[in-house]
Amino acid sequence: MYKFTMSPRNTEKIFNKLSNKFDIFDVTKSDESVIFFCKDKDKKQIQKYLKFYGVVDFTFKPVRSTSLISKVTSIGIILGVVVSTILWIVSSFFITDVILMGDTTFTEQNIYDVLKKNNIHDFTFKSSIDVESLEDQIESLPYISYVSIIFRGNALIINIKEQLTNTEIVDYGNFAPIISIYDCKITSIKLVQGTLAVKAGDIVRVGDVLVYPYATDSQGNTRSVQPLADIVADVYITSSLTVYDQKLERKYTGNVVKNFDISFLGLKIYSTNNEVKFSNYESKTSTSYISETLIPIKITYTMCYEYNEVVENTNFLENLDYYVDKTRQTALLNVKEYDIIKNESHVVRDYDGYHVVEYSVTVNKKIA
């Protein structure tokens, strides 16, 4: 719509002429001016006609349309906001996802069984979930060390920490035997209690028993005891490095294509679709919540990094010292500051197309 303002001269005559060709709306006349409205499409023609009829002192400007379409659009927006608000409020009463976090290698299925037993699944009322009781039930499961359950948005997040399995001690009656965690050669043993399984000079492998958790008294009776001993051994700490004659090197060009998806309750509501024209690229995806509020809107970024593959010769013999030193450093990572290094050696093995550098550090240390 356009609003015209002009002087109130020959008004009736002009409107009679204009009304034969155009639809004129909301005509108001005062002593100073006449105001009327017309459709957008008629604006130019009306300008011409007004000039033709000698009206020169007129002005016009566009006004906001109040057409049926705009009304419907306005109602649609309001309705959309209202419906969204209602959906948001309603959805905040439910959980839509159960997320297990932490290490659940041994316990995942058991946890899902507990959830099933408590009738917890998607679209379960949050208020019907007794978090404390659920924590107690999950914590009572085997291998569970710690559990915490929280609601985040519409997700029920179960954070699990499993018990660490002690690799050194295996159940053996009331007490566990002392077991070697190194490949080593025993140099000295001072037994406190228990029964020795090895003697000085023995070479033991990882997992071999060093001291049994029992003792035999003077009457020949065997009883369980906590095994205790000071055992010192030469431990062989090794590391190896495989070097290929040729290696495929990735060189990133710096070109990146970024796409992202926005999803609500698992439904994709918006996504970008930038085409990836790279012949070689590496993609990385990261997902996060847009806000910390109850609305579980997730945004998933996918970054595609272009790279070129370049074949490089390693020149093994030229760089042998470097590879030996690198292998040594790796081996020394497993040597503690207080360990006494008795010997160091390295071996290079050549194969077809690759070489293996093995470095060995012998340290004398207390292993029990």
Partner 1 sequence: MEDFVFICYFEANVFNFFSELVADFGIEIDKANSFNIVNMSNKLVYIEGQKGVIKIGDDSMSIRVKGGVIVVFGQKLKLKKITGTTVCIVGEIHQIESV
Residues of this chain that interact with partner 1 (CB under 8 A) are 11-12, 15-16, 18-21, 23-30, 34, 36, 67-68
3-state secondary structure 248-286: EEEEEEEEEEEEEEEEECCEEEEECCCCCCCCCEEEEEE
Of 9 and 277, nearer to partner 1 (C-beta) is 9
Of 36 and 214, nearer to partner 1 (C-beta) is 36
Of 19 and 45, nearer to partner 1 (C-beta) is 19
Long-range (24+ apart) CB contacts under 8 A made by 338-343 are 338/365, 339/235, 339/363, 339/364, 339/365, 340/364, 340/365, 342/234
Question: Closest separation between CB of residue 83 and partner 1, Å?
Answer: 25
Question: Closest separation between CB of residue 306 and partner 1, Å?
Answer: 56
Report the C-alpha gap between 34 and 343 in whole angstroms. Answer: 108
Report the C-alpha gap between 288 and 296 in whole angstroms. Answer: 10
Coil, helix or strand for 100? strand
Question: Closest separation between CB of residue 54 and partner 1, Å?
Answer: 18
Long-range (24+ apart) CB contacts under 8 A made by 11-18 are 13/53, 14/50, 14/53, 14/55, 17/49, 17/53, 18/46, 18/49
Question: Closest separation between CB of residue 20 and partner 1, Å?
Answer: 5
Contact 210, 198 (CB under 8 A): yes
Of 28 and 221, nearer to partner 1 (C-beta) is 28
Of 19 and 216, nearer to partner 1 (C-beta) is 19
Q: Which residue has the tokens 């062989």?
A: 236
Of 29 and 223, nearer to partner 1 (C-beta) is 29
Question: Closest separation between CB of residue 301 and partner 1, Å?
Answer: 47
Alpha carbon 36 to chain centroid, angstroms: 62
Closest CA to 146 of 132, 159, 128: 159
Measured from the Cβ of residue 329, the count of other Cβ atoms closer than 10 Å reads 11
Question: Closest separation between CB of residue 8 and partner 1, Å?
Answer: 9
Of 24 and 114, nearer to partner 1 (C-beta) is 24
Of 46 and 357, nearer to partner 1 (C-beta) is 46
Of 38 and 186, nearer to partner 1 (C-beta) is 38
47 to each of 53, 54, 239, how far by Cα in Å? 10, 11, 91
Report the C-alpha gap between 181 and 185 in whole angstroms. Answer: 12
Question: Closest separation between CB of residue 77 and partner 1, Å?
Answer: 20
Rounded to 10°, the helix 11-19/43-52 angle is 130
Question: Closest separation between CB of residue 3 and partner 1, Å?
Answer: 14
State the Cα torsion 66-68-72-73 to the nearest 10°: -50
Question: Closest separation between CB of residue 69 and partner 1, Å?
Answer: 10
